[in-house]
Structure 1
């Protein structure tokens, strides 16, 4: 697919997202296909405390990656923390897994879990046109 066509599709999809739902109606529901886990080092956490737990945290994070739970892992550039793209669809399961991680158990990190799915307005592009 060429860049111009992809740009057009993305532009249309984003425009549809911004439409007033009273005019366009509710957008179709989509399944959760991934979870974004955003971890922030808690206020008051010291470098020494984090460094003491970090070796075990890294080993357990690598194991989650090898188990297929973590697809991508990134460092935050705006503050101390991480962003994971999880191959999971259940937020409660993700919360339970991360609650058992060493940094979380030590109270040194907190996570926000965001369920995401396919861009729902794209389905409107597939609807038959009204004559």
Structure 2
């Protein structure tokens, strides 16, 4: 299942809380998740400092577990909004009227 994960800071997310050691641990864990193939894509929003991740997990619970392994989540500094996705079915209207 494809899942879009949008990062949100928590109230504990002060600039001082994001230490270099914690940010380095986060980058290492993100790299490991990319290598596991569960984290397919990662971006930062252009309009604000927030990560957007594309996950491939069997369930929403599995996605939550994966994100809960991130050091910034474990430190209580960030959390994620999870949005399950499905394929767009509308093209069937072009090729098989009445099926869409």
Q: Give yes or no for TM over 0.5.
A: yes
Aligned partner of 1:73 in structure 2 is 42
- The answer on whether the counterparts of 1:89 and 1:115 sit within 8 Å (CA) in structure 2 is no
* Equivalent pairs, count: 97
RMSD: 1.8
Aligned partner of 1:48 in structure 2 is 16
The whole-number CA distance in structure 2 between the counterparts of 1:40 and 1:80 is: 9
- Other structure's SS at 1:38 match: strand
The whole-number CA distance in structure 1 between the counterparts of 2:85 and 2:6 is: 13
- The answer on whether the counterparts of 1:36 and 1:115 sit within 8 Å (CA) in structure 2 is yes
- The answer on whether the counterparts of 1:70 and 1:87 sit within 8 Å (CA) in structure 2 is yes
In the alignment, structure 1 segments of 5+ residues that lack a partner are 1-32
- The structure whose residues are more often strand, as a share, is 2
CA deviations on 1:58-107 (whole Å, 9 max, x unpaired) are 10110000110111110122332200111224111000111121111111
In the alignment, structure 2 segments of 5+ residues that lack a partner are none
- The structure whose residues are more often helix, as a share, is 1
Aligned partner of 1:7 in structure 2 is none
The two structures have a TM-score, normalised by structure 1, of 0.66
Structure 2 residue 89 is matched with structure 1 residue 120: yes
Largest Rg, 1 or 2: 1
